[in-house]
Amino acid sequence: MKNLPIGVFDSGVGGLTVVKEIMSQLPDEEIIYFGDTARVPYGNKSGETVTAYSRQITRFLLSKQVKAVVIACNTASAFALETIRQEVPVPMLGVVKPGAKTAAAATRNGRIGVIGTEGTVRSGLYEEYLREINPRCRVYGQACPLFVPLVEEGWIRDEITKQVSDRYLSNLLKEDVDTIVLGCTHYPLLREVVQETVGERVTLVNPAYETARELKKMLAERDWLNDGSKPPNHTFYVSDGAEKFRQFANSILPCEMIETGDVFLKVFSL
Amino acid sequence: MKNLPIGVFDSGVGGLTVVKEIMSQLPDEEIIYFGDTARVPYGNKSGETVTAYSRQITRFLLSKQVKAVVIACNTASAFALETIRQEVPVPMLGVVKPGAKTAAAATRNGRIGVIGTEGTVRSGLYEEYLREINPRCRVYGQACPLFVPLVEEGWIRDEITKQVSDRYLSNLLKEDVDTIVLGCTHYPLLREVVQETVGERVTLVNPAYETARELKKMLAERDWLNDGSKPPNHTFYVSDGAEKFRQFANSILPCEMIETGDVFLKVFSL
C-alpha cells in the first residue's frame, strides 16, 4: 500500500496549486493528477453535473491503483465529496474542510468571508463546516466569477483586476470580516491584489497548505506514507489541451514537465 | 421536408442571439436548439475536442429529424463545420462565412478586425474566407477571453468592461481597421461598449443577421421553406442548468419559455 500513488484531480489547472503543496510536504509521494480541461470550468455548473464528472474521474484514478484521492477543486469538493467518498474503497479528501478548519483557527472576531465560484458559494458547505467547528461564527459568501478568467488571461497584478477585486469584496468588508477563505484554487494567484483590497488586518486563508497537512496525517495514521525507496514518477492526465497545460504547470510546479523525464503528461478522453 | 424543424446548436446560451434573428426572418420555421451548458465554453478548447462535441450534438439533432443544422457558435463553426458537413445528409451552415461576407461588403479601406474567442482567432478561418472574397484585404484577429464572462456577470454597460474593451481593441485601432466582426455570439450584447471604444466610423458586424438570411436563401432554393400551416413549436435542449438557461433565454428571445406552451425546455445528457 505504502508505495502506491495518490490521485489528485481538478476541473483544470487550478489544482496544481494543491499539488505543489503536496510535493512540498510529502516529497516522497507519487502523484497521479487529472485535469478536466475538456469540460472546465466546474464553478458555474450544477451539483449533479459536477458530481457526475467527479465520479467518472475518481473511477479513472482508482483504475490507476491510487491509495487515496484528493479533490483539489473547491466546487467539486463542495458538491461531490460526501457522495463519492461513500462509493469508493479508498480514503478521499477535499479542500473545503481543511480550508474551513484553518479559517476557524485564524478568525478573532468570528466573522469570516468565503470567496469562490458561484457553485462553491451556492453550496453553503464552507459555512456548514465553519459552524460545526464554531456555531457562533458568521459566514459571508461572495462569488467572484471573473477571478478565474482574469488569472487565465494573466492579468495578475493589474489595475483592472484590482477594480474587480474592490467591487467583489466591498460587501465582505462592510460585514467587518477579519478572515477570508480563498475558496477556489486559482485565487491564491491573486493573493496580492486581494490583500491590497482588504488591507493587512484581514487574514487570507489558502486551503492548500492544510489539505496537504491533513493528507500527511491521514497517511501517517494508517502507516501508508511512501517509504521513499525510489524517486516518485508523477503522471499528469488532461482531457484536452496538453501543451497549454504543460506550460501552465511548468510555471507553477517545482519540477519541469516531460523535459526531466520524472513527470509524464498524457491526454485521456473521458 | 418543408415542415421539418431546423436544428441550431451552440456551446451554451450565446447562440440564442442567432435564434432570435432566425425567428425574426423565418417566423414559420420550427427550431430545435441545443445548448451544451455542461461543457461550455468551447472558446479555449482544442479543435479536436470542439469537433468531437459538435459531431455528437449534430447527431442528436439529426435524430430529431431536422432538415438543416445551423452552428450558432463561432468557435464550433471555425473548427468543426467543414469536417462535419461532409459526414451528414442535411445541409449545414455556420456563422463564420456569413460574417466574413458581411464584413467584406462593409469595409472601405480593406482593413478588417475580427474579435472572438482564442479558438476562433487561432483557427484563422475568418481571414481565410475574407481573403477568398477579397485577396487584397488585411485581417487582424484579437482574442477577447474576458468578454464572455463579463456578459455572463451582467456587467454590460460598465466602466470595467469599457476598460477591458479599450485594452483588447487598442491593437486593432492602431492597424486602422474600419470594420470589426463581432466573432462570438455573446459579443453583440457588448455592442455599445465596443462602439464607444472604437468610435462611430468603425462598422461593427454581427454575423447573426446574414446567417439567418443565408439560411432563408438556402431553404427557398430547395423549396424547403415551412408552409406555416401550423404555428411553430420550438424546443430547447441543454446539457445542464435548465433554469438558468430559461431565465437567460426569456431575456433575449421574443417568446416566453415554457410559460406560453409554445416553447419546451428539456435537459439532455450527452
Domain boundary among the residues B206, B222, B247 is at B206
Residue A266 in this model has a pLDDT that exceeds 70: no
A200-241 pLDDT per residue, tens:
999 999 999 999 999 999 999 999 999 999 989 899 999 998
Q: CB of B83 within 8 A of CB of B160?
A: no
Q: Is A184 a catalytic residue?
A: yes
Count of structural domains within chain A = 2
B72-117 pLDDT per residue, tens:
999 999 999 999 999 999 999 999 999 999 999 999 999 999 999 9
Which residues on adjacent β-strands are paired with residue B8? B33, B70
Contacts of A50 in chain B (CB under 8 A): none
Please report the pLDDT score of residue A257 as a whole number. Answer: 59
Domain contains A44:
yes
Domain contains A1:
no
Please report the pLDDT score of residue A246 as a whole number. Answer: 86
Contacts of A149 in chain B (CB under 8 A): 145-146, 149
Contacts of A39 in chain B (CB under 8 A): 38-39
pTM more than 0.90 = yes
Same-domain status, B124 and B168: yes
Cα separation, A55 vs A42, in Å, equals: 14
Residue A268 in this model has a pLDDT that exceeds 90: no
Q: Does A240 touch chain B (CB under 8 A)?
A: yes
Same-domain status, A215 and A201: no
- Per-residue pLDDT, averaged over B134-163, amounts to 96
The verdict on a CB contact (< 8 Å) between A146 and B145 is no
A111-149 pLDDT per residue, tens:
999 999 999 999 999 999 999 999 999 999 999 999 999
ipTM reported for the complex, 2 dp:
0.91
Q: Does B56 touch chain A (CB under 8 A)?
A: no
Domain contains B1:
no
The verdict on a CB contact (< 8 Å) between A145 and B153 is yes
Q: Which residue of A has its CA nearest to B143?
A: A153
Best residue in A45, A147, A245 for a mutation probing chain B (most B CBs within 10 Å): A45
Domain boundary among the residues A159, A184, A206 is at A206
Cα separations in angstroms, B71 against A152, B27, B184, B235, B258: 27, 19, 12, 16, 24
B214 is in which domain, residue-wise? 6-95+209-267
Cell of A240: 484536452
Q: How far B76 CA sits from the closest chain A CA (Å)?
A: 14
Domain contains A70:
yes
Cα separation, B44 vs B169, in Å, equals: 19
Give the number of other Cβ atoms within 10 Å of residue B91's Cβ. 15
Q: Which residue has the higher pLDDT, A256 or A36?
A: A36
The verdict on a CB contact (< 8 Å) between A149 and B153 is no
Please report the pLDDT score of residue A263 as a whole number. Answer: 54
Contacts of A159 in chain B (CB under 8 A): 163
Stretch (H or E) spanning A143: strand A138-143
In single-letter form, the type of residue at position A69 comes to V
Domain contains B107:
yes
Confidence of residue B264 (pLDDT cuts 50, 70, 90): low
Domain contains A163:
yes
CATH of the domain at B169: 3.40.50.1860
> Which residue, B19, B15, B70, B22, is CA-closest to B226?
B22
Q: Which residue of B has its CA nearest to A239?
A: B49
Please report the pLDDT score of residue B248 as a whole number. Answer: 84
> Which residue, B76, B82, B107, is CA-closest to B184?
B76
Domain boundary among the residues A206, A225, A243 is at A206
Cα separation, A248 vs B151, in Å, equals: 26
Contacts of B193 in chain A (CB under 8 A): none
Domain contains A172:
yes
Q: How far A239 CA sits from the closest chain B CA (Å)?
A: 9
- Per-residue pLDDT, averaged over B183-189, amounts to 96
The verdict on a CB contact (< 8 Å) between B163 and A163 is yes
Residue A262 in this model has a pLDDT that exceeds 60: no
Same-domain status, B181 and B149: yes
Confidence of residue B229 (pLDDT cuts 50, 70, 90): very high
Cα separation, A193 vs B125, in Å, equals: 38
Same-domain status, A84 and A110: no
Contacts of B168 in chain A (CB under 8 A): none
Report the percent of chain B where pLDDT is more than 70.
94
Confidence of residue A249 (pLDDT cuts 50, 70, 90): confident
Same-domain status, B126 and B260: no
Q: Does A166 touch chain B (CB under 8 A)?
A: no
Please report the pLDDT score of residue B266 as a whole number. Answer: 66
Residue A260 in this model has a pLDDT that exceeds 50: no
Q: How far B199 CA sits from the closest chain A CA (Å)?
A: 22
Cα separation, B29 vs B33, in Å, equals: 12
Same-domain status, A133 and A178: yes
Same-domain status, B157 and B188: yes
Q: How far A225 CA sits from the closest chain B CA (Å)?
A: 37
Q: Does B247 touch chain A (CB under 8 A)?
A: no
DSSP B262: S
Residue B62 in this model has a pLDDT that exceeds 90: yes
Residue A180 in this model has a pLDDT that exceeds 90: yes
Confidence of residue B259 (pLDDT cuts 50, 70, 90): very low
Same-domain status, B175 and B48: no
Contacts of B145 in chain A (CB under 8 A): 149, 152-153
Residue A261 in this model has a pLDDT that exceeds 50: no
Listed by number, the residues of chain A in 146-165 with a beta carbon closer than 8 Å to a beta carbon of chain B are 146, 149-150, 152-153, 159-160, 163-164
Same-domain status, B78 and B154: no
Q: How far B228 CA sits from the closest chain A CA (Å)?
A: 38
Domain contains A13:
yes
Q: Which of A45, A152, A164 sits opposite B38 (nearest CB)?
A: A45
A87-106 pLDDT per residue, tens:
999 999 999 999 999 999 99
Same-domain status, B105 and B236: no
Strand, helix or coil for residue A13: coil
> Which residue, B193, B177, B200, B68, is CA-closest to B130?
B177
Residue B260 in this model has a pLDDT that exceeds 90: no
The verdict on a CB contact (< 8 Å) between B39 and A37 is no
Q: Which of A46, A149, A160 sits opposite B240 (nearest CB)?
A: A46
DSSP B112: E
- Per-residue pLDDT, averaged over B131-149, amounts to 97
Q: CB of A72 within 8 A of CB of A8?
A: yes
Q: Which residue has the higher pLDDT, B194 or A247?
A: B194
Count of CB pairs separated by less than 8 Å, A with B: 53
The verdict on a CB contact (< 8 Å) between B145 and A164 is no
Q: Does A56 touch chain B (CB under 8 A)?
A: no
Q: Which residue of B has its CA nearest to A40?
A: B39
Same-domain status, A109 and A201: yes
Cα separation, B12 vs B49, in Å, equals: 16
Same-domain status, B11 and B111: no
Q: Is A255 a catalytic residue?
A: no
Please report the pLDDT score of residue A251 as a whole number. Answer: 82
Please report the pLDDT score of residue A248 as a whole number. Answer: 84
Please report the pLDDT score of residue B242 as a whole number. Answer: 87
Q: How far B46 CA sits from the closest chain A CA (Å)?
A: 6
- Per-residue pLDDT, averaged over A6-31, amounts to 96
* Residues with Cβ within 8 Å of residue A57, at least 6 apart in sequence: A9, A34, A36, A270
The C-alpha torsion from A247 through A252 and A257 to A260, rounded to 10°, is: 130
